[in-house]
Chains A and B, each alone.
Chain A
Amino acid sequence: MKKLLLIVMLLVWPLALLAQGSLYKQYASRPGLTVAQVDGFKLCDSVRVDVVLLQADDEAAWRRLAVEFGIEGEEGVVSWLADTERPAKRVGWTGRPVLRAVASHARRTLAFYRLDNERQYDALLDYQLYRMKGDKKNKK
């Protein structure tokens, strides 16, 4: 009975860990940060992406993040393609998995959208254009 329970626990433990992304785990315990993960964020009917958001609780925590990701001194919203393992590193699109990073100084927030393939990349651009047009229409 004890052996069986031990086997079950050993099987369940890695499964539970897999449910959380490495980026989320990396920042979730850092003080001054609120970290969220949205799985399967819908871009269109057939394409979804996973998103990790880092929100600084105060200005000091945001300054630290800004330095870490090399966006200090910049204004507004900044965006770049990032390495999946090292999100501060800028990379180009090669068809391999990347993160679309978006940083908003006003919201003190960094968001990382994981793009595993070209379909997700295209859908993300379509979503951005669709939302931008919609937002402009609503503002009129």
Chain B
Amino acid sequence: MKEEQFDDLWMRAEAGRYARSLMAEYPGWRRRQRRRVAAAAALVVLAGAALPLLNGVLPLGGADGEYLAAHCNKAGIGEDYWVDLAGDLLAESLEV
């Protein structure tokens, strides 16, 4: 079966009417369907993983845009605490 023929079958199967008969008469249908679903899933996962890398250009987080993202090795301390501390330490370092 050529790719164009498969695409045609795919479109028709997507419409729902012929899905069962197509699967029965063409054993490669399930395999190709799985490939397409896996490729779409991989795209979603990659997009999610790439989001942290876009922090430098997209304002993704942070109250009032004071910071883009924050994380800590221990739970229970709010992000604002660290952001305030980073600002306070800079101010204190100039005070004599």
Which interface class (under 10, 10 to 19, 20 to 34, 35 or more) fits A?
35 or more
Interface presence of B4 (CB below 8 A): no
Interface presence of B28 (CB below 8 A): no
A37 to B61, CA, bound (A): 14
Chain B interfacial residues counted at CB < 8 A: 38
- Complex: chain A residue closest to B64, CB-CB: A42
Answer whether A42 and B94 are a contact pair too, CB < 8 Å, given A4-B38, A4-B42, A111-B85: no
Cβ contact within 8 Å between A131 and B42: no
- Count of A-B contacts with CB under 8 A? 122
Interface presence of B22 (CB below 8 A): no
Which residue of the partner chain, among B38, B46, B70, contacts A12 with CB atoms under 8 Å?
B46
A19 to B61, CA, bound (A): 14
Which residue of the partner chain, among B34, B38, B46, B86, contacts A11 with CB atoms under 8 Å?
B46
Minimum CB–CB distance from B95 to chain A (whole Å) comes to 6
Q: Which B residues are closer than 8 A to A by beta carbons?
A: 34-35, 38-39, 42, 45-46, 49-50, 52-53, 55-56, 62, 65-74, 77, 79, 82-83, 85-87, 89-95
25 contacts between A and B (CB under 8 A): A4-B35, A5-B38, A8-B45, A8-B46, A12-B45, A15-B49, A18-B53, A19-B55, A24-B73, A34-B77, A36-B82, A38-B70, A39-B55, A39-B68, A40-B69, A41-B67, A42-B65, A42-B67, A48-B67, A51-B86, A127-B87, A128-B90, A128-B93, A131-B91, A131-B94
